[in-house]
Each structure stands twice: as structure tokens, then as C-alpha cells.
Structure 1
Amino acid sequence: MTLLTKKIVPNLECQPERVIQFGEGNFMRAFVDWQLQQMNQQGLFNGSSVVVQPIEQGLKDLLDAQDDLYTVALQGLQNGEVIDSVEIMTSVSRVINPYTQWQAYKELASQDDLEIIVSNTTEAGIAYHKEDSLAAMPPKSFPAKLTVLLHERYKLGKKGFIIIPCELIDRNGDKLKEIVLQYATDWALGHDFVTWLETQNTFCCSLVDRIVPGFPRDTAQDFYDKLGYEDKVLVTAEPFMVWVIEGPQTIMTAFPLQKAGLNVIVTEDMTPYRERKVHLLNGPHTAMSILARLAGLDTVEAVMKDLDFRKYVDGLFTDELIPMIDLPISELVVFAEQVKERFLNPFANHQLSAIALNTVSKFVARLLPVFNQYVDTKNALPKHMTAALAALILSYRGDKIVPQDDENIIATFNKAWEDPETVVVTILGNVDLWGQDLTAISDLVAQVKKDIALLETAGARVLIKKC
């Protein structure tokens, strides 16, 4: 079968390079580059991305073999309709591997059309490596590579960039800027360069959301038969996407994502939107994964199609999560309905066992802040989250579900379960697990004991019905 190349895309128009993109993985190609394509199709951007491979081994060779073309397949539900579409992406101009093309990388600093820098180098990518130096070709870390590029830009007397990292860490733009400034100090790049960094560049924090399963290994041949060509870097993604960018509204002049009708929010404070995602998307995932597995369910879609568990999820959203988030209720209700639709994605096959990895830390990050706020606000226990907490403690006993977590955490639960009479007090009182003593919450110990007893005698389905 013919490989996807420019021969398959007639009259391909080359767009000027306007974006530097660190990261050539599935997510960035199905998220940022897909959005560039949508803007270009509407005549709003007229630009492409030049992609920098952040580590030595990557997808450059595969993309080069396809003239940097690839297919995005959107699969899922949107506004009640099944979406199953494919589109060839033409928004990547080329891929640079700085480990073999260091000079080509540095020369990006001279291109006046380049205005925007985006990145996704994994959560570990925005990190400081003391060993990195200005003389390295290239330095190891992404922030060090970026500092070199910015310094080259400064030396040429050119304007700075709008810099929008997409790594999934809190305050990613602030953290990236902090490390770049540290390298500027370490490498003695001078006060004038630091001033240029501060005044001529805009570092934005951002929050990204789109589920991108990636290359469809199990069904690749079916796709090839449907497309009529082979695409070794084809990427599947859900239709839903949102990009929250914390920064000035003026960045949309250079980067007109909103004008293209894309679900992009520019705000002075992204905190409520981060809470919205963590608590309204990730939180229900964590709660359902604990309880539904005890009831014998195995996927998110199965949970949402189960009448009892659907009522539990609806109640968790309506009664406990939405009232605790500082955004307009109407906006949160719309987002919650979008999340439920995403949970029903028939293409995703999202396994609860995968969501349940490291459940304790996920409960702490995704549910415990809302739990505490609910208790403080309502002076009562949130029934749905309390049931999930009880199920968590029972599941870590290991006889009903095999927990997947840090060995020290599993050892803590094993030790506590040696005395079933005191296990609830022991676990809830463990500050190392929760960051606080949960036994101090009025009535929580007693309710968790009742819920565990009901789980043991009647099962998870009966417990969630009581919620």
C-alpha cells in the first residue's frame, strides 16, 4: 500500500513557519497542530509549525518519510452524535533533531515569522539540570535548549516570543520561566538579556484537555484500508478539546484560535479551570474506578451505561462537585455534560484498572480538596465521596482487587489491615497518606466503617444506591 506523502495531497500549499513546537508526539500533533490546521483552513493564520524533537530518539525519521504529513482520526461522541472522521494534517513544515541538527535549531532564532513557542516534553520535561551549559550541543533539558534559542534571538536584536507550554504540571509557564532565568544566571548571560526575557517575551501558563489514544495498533490495517494509504504516524483522538491559556487577551491577535471557533479560553487566572478539570473530569474517574471495579465493571463506558452507577455519577457531579467550584453554575453544568459524553465514548475502551493506578495520590489531588470544602461548607459528609473513600480502603486490602501503587503505600495498608477493628482509624489518621488527619473530620470514621461493612455484606451496588 502507498505510504502517505505529498503525492497523495495535490496542490499542497506551503505555509510560512510561525510556531516552534517542542515535541512531536501524538498529543501535540492531535492537539496543537490540529488547531493550526483548523485556523489555516479558515484563512485565519497562514502558518505552520517547525517541530523540535526534544530527545535524541523520536519520530523525525517517520515523519520525514511522509513529508511531515499524517492523519488525525477523531473518534467519539459530540453533542449526542458519533464522530468518526479522518483528516490529513499539513500544518507541520519540518522536524529538527537538535542532537544532529544543532546549527539548524539555533538558526530558528533568525526567522522573523516565528512568534509562538509551544511545548509538551512530558511532565518531567520542564526540569533543571545543573550540568547543562551554553556550550553544549545540545544541552540535555528542554528549558536549557530554550534558553539557548532565546539568547540567540536576543543577540540578533529581534522581538521575543509568546511561550505556551502544555506540559501537565501546575503553573507550567511560571516553572519554565523560572528555570530559564536560572540558566541565564548560571551562564552569566547578563542583565540586559534578563531584561529582554522579562519584557519582550510572554510566558503563559496553560491547561490542555483532549484524550489522545495515539496510534491504533490493533486496528491500523482497518484504517489503511479505509484511507487507501499507509500512515505510520496516524493518531487517534477524541473530538472534545479545550485549551485554557493564562495570559493577556492580546495573544489571540497573533494566535487567533478563538476566532476559528476552537474551544480556547484566555484568562487572567486559570485556577478555576484547572480545578474544573481536576475535580469534574479526573475526580469522577477516580471515584468510579474504585467502586465500579468492586461491582465487576471494567470500563468507563460500562459504568455510564449501568443505570445504578450512572445515577451515582450524576449525583456526585450535581450534589458534591459542581457546588464547590468557583465558576458559574451554568458553565459547570455544560462542562459536566461534556465530560459524561466523553465517558460514553464507544471508541475509547478506557479501562478502570488503568485509572486506578496510584489511587491514593489521585484521591488526594482530585477529590480530597472538594471533600474538605464540602465538609466546611455544608457541615456534613459528602455521601458519594465518602463511599469512594470506604471502597478505597477496602480495595487496598488486596483480596477483592489487586492494588497498583507505591510499595510503601501498599505496605502501609497491609499493616493496617492486620487489625480489621482499627484499620479505618489507622488509615484515616495517617497524615503521610492524606496530608492531614482525616479522623478529625466529624463522623467520618463511623460512616466509613458503616460503608465498608455494607460493601462486605451487600456489595458496591447496594452502597451506591444508598447514596
Structure 2
Amino acid sequence: MKKLNKQHTVDQRYPEKVIQFGEGNFMRGFVDWQLQQMNQQGLFQGSAVVVQPIAQGLGEMLAEQDYLYTVLLDGILNDQVINSAEIVSTVNRVINPYDDYQSYLDLALDDQLSVIISNTTEAGIQFLADDSLSNQPPTSFPGKLTALLARRFDLKKAGFTIIPCELIDRNGEKLKEIVLQYAEQWGLGADFRTWLQTENTFCCSLVDRIVPGYPREDQEELQSRLGYRDQLMVKAEPFLLWVIEGPASLKDQLPLAKAGLNVVVTDDMTPYRERKVHLLNGPHTAMVPLGLLAGLETVEDVMLDEDFSQFVDQLMAEEIIPVLDLPQSELISYANSVKERFKNPFIRHELTAIALNSLSKFKARLLPLLVNYQKQQHTLPPLMTLALAGLITFYRGDYPLQDDQHVLDTFAEAWQRPETVVPAIFSNHSLWEQDLSQLPGLVEAVEADLSLLEKGSRAALQTKLRGESYA
């Protein structure tokens, strides 16, 4: 069977209009797929030039397939089953700046390139004090971006609309802040810093689409059905949401909504972020340690399990929705749509994949809710405290863990004294950016939940769901 190439589709190439940092599954199944939808309707007629953020990437594999790949949409949307396969052709080329730095800098020459979109993982937007403009390329993504912007400024050309998709709060503001740090450290001058702030638009954004990636388990059947080999096909759910906090002119620059895509351009993305982070990502984070400890493997396993699906229902209805400052009817409707997505039988969303950096996810997604619940109700949310106890148990090291080495070392040291593990972890300011041991009753509640978990995750969950005491 032949590998996917331009002979398998109408090879219509468009001018490069987007610089895209990142060529992983999410960007190909989210951003590039959306560019394709606009092109098919004659609304954009542009392609993306992709920049590899790291030296080892997928550029060569994409080149072998003439920069084509297949997006498979599998799932249920608005009660309709969707099962589609589409060859996406909106990646025009890939530049590896580690191999060809000059071609990367030459992107600044092209006036048609006006949008920069990135997804370099949550760790990608960071300031490295030892990064240098003399590096070819600079090490960090913001460093590479600063070098490109400096070249654009030197050429006296227009700035860019910059839309990071990394899953950190206020991602556009954070990226701009770091670029300004580099501009100051590298001595790029006051005129450049002024141009950076007045001629470029850094947008905060929120992305929402589950993209599990390459369908390894079904690859042979799929490639037989498609009639070609595709090393880079991507499976994604049909649901999509992209909220961009930016100027109204962006609706014309990137006419995504006109193409019928669920894209919102707004002057305040806060309500959308609160809803998504806490009602979708929050239950994901809560279910992972408890589900894995009970022997479950996927989100669908959780939703098909009587005890765990009740856990998700009650967590949303009784502990998350009551403390969110948004219309209740809207939150309930969104929660129901989230549960429909969680039950998607066509997507194998591994709990181990969601477990990456679980502590920072709990801190961002659930901890603010736990604190607010305690303030409002003058008691602690029982399912959240059990999830927190499950997290501490999970970090004991019985499962393969993927997290910052400092986090892993801190837990390993704390678990050497099991009798004090909870206060040791909670009082560690570097983990939580606060002293959780001072939250009334939290240490005692989580210690009781740890004891409960000794009987097994499922037994502990059943006890909690029945509202029984710890005895």
C-alpha cells in the first residue's frame, strides 16, 4: 500500500498566511483542520508554514507525505454520530530552525504572513535567563519569536496577530511579557519595544477539542479503508471550541466563525475559561488518580462505571457548579455536553495521558474551587478531598509518573514518613504557592480519606457517595 501523497487528493496550495509553532497532533487536528474548512468555503485561501519548536519533530515525516495527513472525526455531536476522514492540505512546509535558521528568519520578509499561532505545550512559554539572540536558534519558543519579531522590525514591516494556544491562564499576556523581557535583556532598544506593543496584537485564547492522536489500535483497519498508509493521521472528537480574546477585526482576518466553526472572538474570555477549566478539565483531573487506582484505563471506562459516573455527576452538580459565578442554567447545559463528550465510544482517551503533571493541573483546575467551597459552605467538598487524597496516593510512586523532577522528589521525600505525608505536602509552598495546611480542616479530612483509600479506591468512593462517616 502506498504512503499518502499528493496523488491521493487535489493538490491545491495556497499562499502562506500563518506561521505555526508546533506540528503535533493537537495543532494538526485543531488549527490546520480549521484552516482547511475556511479554504473549502473560499473564505481564507491561505496555508500555514510550520516551525518546529524543538530539533526533533515531525517535519521529515510530513515532507515524506507531501505535507498531507488525515483527520478522523469520531464521536457524537448534537446527538448525531459523526465518523469522517478528511485529507488536510493546509500545511505548506515545515522549517526546522535548528537545521536552517536563515529560512526561519526569512519568514519576516513575507508580507502575507500576518498571523502567528502556537502550541508548544504548557512548558513552552517560559523565560530562560541564559537564552541568547546569538543562539541560532534561541532555545525557548518566546526567544525564537523575539528573534523573528526583531527581524520583522528591522525590515520596517507590519507586525503580527499572535495567538498562543498553550493551556496556561492568560497565555497571550504571558507570552508578550516574556518577549518584552528578552527585548530588554538582549538590548533591542526602545523603538523595538514600542513597535512590539503598538504594531503587534497578542491575543489570549482558550482551546477545547479532545485530540487523542494517532489511532494505533485501529491503524491497519483504517489504512485499509482509506487505501493509503498515513503515518500522521490524527483522531479527534467532532466538538470544537476556540475562544480568542482580541479585536473584532480578527473575525475578518481569520473568518473561522463565518465558516461555521465554533470560534468566539470576545473582549473578555474569562467566563469561557472558568467554565471549561473547572467543568471539563476539573472532572478529568479528579477522576484520574481514583480511576487508575481502581484499575480503570480510559475516560469512557469511568463514565460507563456505575460508581465513577455517579462520582462525576455529583462532583459537577454539588461541588463545582455551586461555586462558579456563572448562570446556573448555562453551567448545567455545559456540564451535560461535557458528560456526552466523556462518553464518546469512538475516542480512547487514556487516563495515563491526562495524568501528565497532575499536581499542577489539580492546583489550577480544582484547588480554587475547593477553597471557595470551604469559604462559602464552611465545610470541605467531600469528593474533592477524596480526589486530593487520591492524588497524594498516586504520587507515592506505585504508577509511572510524569511530572517536574522537583515535584516527584518532594513527594518521594514526604512519603518516607507516611504518618506526616499530608502536612508535609500541604505546607510545601513551592508546590501550591500557598500553605494548604492552614486551610481549616483540610489536613484532617485528607488524612481520613487516605485511610479510606487503604481499603481500595472503589470502596472509598462508595463510602463517600453514600455520605457515610470515615469510621
TM-score by length of 1: 0.88
Q: Which region of structure 1 is more displaced relative to structure 2, 457-466 or 83-92?
A: 457-466
Does the CA contact (< 8 Å) of 2:48 and 2:92 recur in 1? yes
Amino acid at match of 1:49: A
Distance 2:185 2:423 in 1: 49
Does the CA contact (< 8 Å) of 1:455 and 1:463 recur in 2? no
CA shift, 1:139, in A, is 2.8
Q: 1:375 to 1:103 in 2, by over 3 A?
A: same
Does the CA contact (< 8 Å) of 2:209 and 2:240 recur in 1? yes
- Alignment correspondent of 1:4: 4
CA shift, 1:227, in A, is 0.5
Amino acid at match of 1:365: A
Instruction: Map 1:384-403; keep pairs closer than 5 Å.
Output: 384-392=383-391, 402=399
Instruction: Map 1:221-370; keep pairs closer than 5 Å.
Output: 221-356=220-355, 359-370=358-369
Does the CA contact (< 8 Å) of 1:52 and 1:98 recur in 2? yes
CA shift, 1:88, in A, is 0.4
Instruction: Map 1:416-431; keep pairs closer than 5 Å.
Output: 416-417=418-419
Does the CA contact (< 8 Å) of 1:300 and 1:350 recur in 2? yes
1:409 aligns with one of 383, 387, 411:
411
SS at structure 1 position matched to 2:238: coil
Instruction: Map 1:143-158; keep pairs closer than 5 Å.
Output: 143-158=142-157
Does the CA contact (< 8 Å) of 1:290 and 1:395 recur in 2? yes
- Alignment correspondent of 2:39: 40
- Alignment correspondent of 2:404: none
Q: 1:145 to 1:308 in 2, by over 3 A?
A: closer
Cα deviations across residues 224-280 of structure 1 (Å, max 9, x unaligned)?
Answer: 101001112212222222222222222122011122222222233333333323221
Cα deviations across residues 318-339 of structure 1 (Å, max 9, x unaligned)?
Answer: 1111222233333322322222
SS at structure 2 position matched to 1:243: strand
Does the CA contact (< 8 Å) of 1:21 and 1:49 recur in 2? yes
SS at structure 2 position matched to 1:75: strand
Amino acid at match of 2:75: G
Distance 1:210 1:56 in 2: 27
Distance 1:29 1:205 in 2: 20
- Alignment correspondent of 1:377: 376
Amino acid at match of 1:463: T
Q: 1:39 to 1:327 in 2, by over 3 A?
A: farther
Does the CA contact (< 8 Å) of 2:382 and 2:464 recur in 1? no
Distance 1:68 1:321 in 2: 43
Amino acid at match of 1:232: Q
TM-score by length of 2: 0.87
Cα deviations across residues 175-204 of structure 1 (Å, max 9, x unaligned)?
Answer: 222232233233333322222111111011
Distance 1:131 1:454 in 2: 47
Does the CA contact (< 8 Å) of 1:357 and 1:403 recur in 2? no
Q: Which region of structure 1 is more displaced relative to structure 2, 436-445 or 330-339?
A: 436-445
CA shift, 1:31, in A, is 1.0
Distance 2:42 2:187 in 1: 43
- Establish whether residue 86 from structure 1 lines up as the match of residue 88 from structure 2: no
Q: 1:342 to 1:185 in 2, by over 3 A?
A: same
Q: 1:415 to 1:354 in 2, by over 3 A?
A: farther
Give RMSD over aligned pairs: 2.8
Q: 1:441 to 1:228 in 2, by over 3 A?
A: same
Amino acid at match of 2:417: K
Distance 1:183 1:444 in 2: 41
Q: Which region of structure 1 is more displaced relative to structure 2, 445-454 or 347-356?
A: 445-454
- Alignment correspondent of 1:462: 462
Q: 1:201 to 1:379 in 2, by over 3 A?
A: same
- State the percentage of identical aligned residues: 58
- Alignment correspondent of 1:202: 201
SS at structure 1 position matched to 2:85: strand
- Establish whether residue 122 from structure 1 lines up as the match of residue 121 from structure 2: yes
SS at structure 1 position matched to 2:125: coil
CA shift, 1:427, in A, is 6.0
Cα deviations across residues 306-357 of structure 1 (Å, max 9, x unaligned)?
Answer: 2232222111111111222233333322322222122112233333344445
Q: 1:439 to 1:23 in 2, by over 3 A?
A: closer
Does the CA contact (< 8 Å) of 2:164 and 2:203 recur in 1? yes
Q: 1:397 to 1:162 in 2, by over 3 A?
A: closer
Distance 2:268 2:413 in 1: 40
Distance 1:255 1:218 in 2: 36
Q: 1:383 to 1:253 in 2, by over 3 A?
A: same
Q: 1:103 to 1:450 in 2, by over 3 A?
A: closer
Q: 1:150 to 1:360 in 2, by over 3 A?
A: closer
Cα deviations across residues 62-113 of structure 1 (Å, max 9, x unaligned)?
Answer: 2122221111112233233333211000111222222333333223222222
Q: 1:51 to 1:397 in 2, by over 3 A?
A: closer
Instruction: Map 1:64-75; keep pairs closer than 5 Å.
Output: 64-75=63-74
Does the CA contact (< 8 Å) of 1:308 and 1:464 recur in 2? no
Provide structure 2 residue ranges, at least 5 long, that are not aligned to the other structure.
402-406
Does the CA contact (< 8 Å) of 1:56 and 1:99 recur in 2? yes
Does the CA contact (< 8 Å) of 1:99 and 1:137 recur in 2? yes
SS at structure 1 position matched to 2:415: helix
Q: 1:94 to 1:424 in 2, by over 3 A?
A: closer
Distance 1:463 1:452 in 2: 13
Distance 1:135 1:162 in 2: 25
Distance 1:122 1:157 in 2: 31
